[in-house]
Copies of this chain bind each other. A is one copy, B any other.
Amino acid sequence: MPPKAYHRKLYEYIMEEIALRILKGDYPSETTLPNEDALCKEYQVSRGVLREATKVLTQKGLIQARPKVGTLVQPRSNWNLFDADVLTWKLQVDGKVEFLRKVTEVRRLIESEAARCAAERCSPTEIAAIAEPLEEMAEMLTAATDGSRFDYETYLAVDMAFHMAIMEASHNELLAQIGVTMRQAVLSARRLDIHNVKVLQESVKDHRRLFTAIQAGDAQGAYDASRLLFDAVWRHLPQR
């Protein structure tokens, strides 16, 4: 069953397989998974591999093994929501819009605060690291006036670099990591989202305003600009 083409480790494949089945409800909460031997047969892997997969899933809060009774699927309230994988899985197959709104709520909170901190604390080097992807974004969009040859994937990567640079500049690695993880989770889940170049061109103005405020050391301005950006994100969120 395990396709030869995967370069990921076998246990990662099995882990995701089981996780998705839990997410989809194939293995309902509060019930037990098939026992280890059965799972090994089903997925055609050794017990060692299976156990590595389940250990990690345990750590993510999806399951909990007990001798004699089996491996229990944990209720959603136990899931480790700021595990990058869980977040991605949940956004992909689960509640969709409602949860996405909650993630966005937290992202706005975190990233705006990071912007404020960045304005207060960042160094010239860090300012340059923020400026560079910003310029690239602007270039890509002006070059895209003809409508065609616009590489959306690349644009997303550059946009990500811009925001990551700001979070790094907050000098609070905890803040940065929360923000980056959530941004990545959302990115991978909603890839093909805003294809409207015009909307993106609008948003560049706001990006630039955010950068200018950080550069000027204007903490409140940076905070406000970041909130503004998220207001736009909020508006483009799918409506229920």
A residues in contact (CB < 8 Å) with B: 11, 48, 51-52, 55-56, 59-60, 77, 80-83, 102-103, 105-106, 109-110, 113, 172-175, 177-178, 181
Contact = CB atoms under 8 A, between A and B. Distances in A.
Contacts of A177: 80-82
Contact of A56 (B59, B81, B181): B59
Q: Oligomeric state, in number of copies?
A: 2
Contact of A55 (B52, B80, B173): B52
When A and B form their complex, which 7 residue pairs have the shortest distance between CB atoms, in order from nearest? Answer: A52-B55, A102-B172, A82-B82, A81-B177, A81-B174, A56-B59, A106-B174
Contact of A77 (B11, B103, B173): B173
A105 B55 contact: no
Given A48-B48, A77-B173, A173-B81, A178 B55 contact: no
A80 B51 CA distance: 22
Nearest to A172: B102
Contacts of A110: 109
Contacts of A174: 81-82, 102-103, 105-106
Given A82-B181, A106-B172, A109-B109, 5 more contacts: A81-B173, A102-B172, A103-B174, A105-B172, A109-B110
A172 to B, nearest CB: 5
Given A59-B56, A82-B82, A105 B175 contact: yes
Contacts of A181: 82
A104 B172 CA distance: 11
A48 B47 CA distance: 10
Contacts of A52: 51-52, 55
A110 B106 CA distance: 8
A231 to B, nearest CB: 16
Nearest to A56: B59
B55 A11 contact: yes
A213 to B, nearest CB: 19
6 contacts: A48-B48, A48-B51, A77-B173, A80-B177, A82-B82, A109-B113
Contacts of A81: 173-174, 177
Nearest to A181: B82
Nearest to A58: B56
A172 B98 CA distance: 10
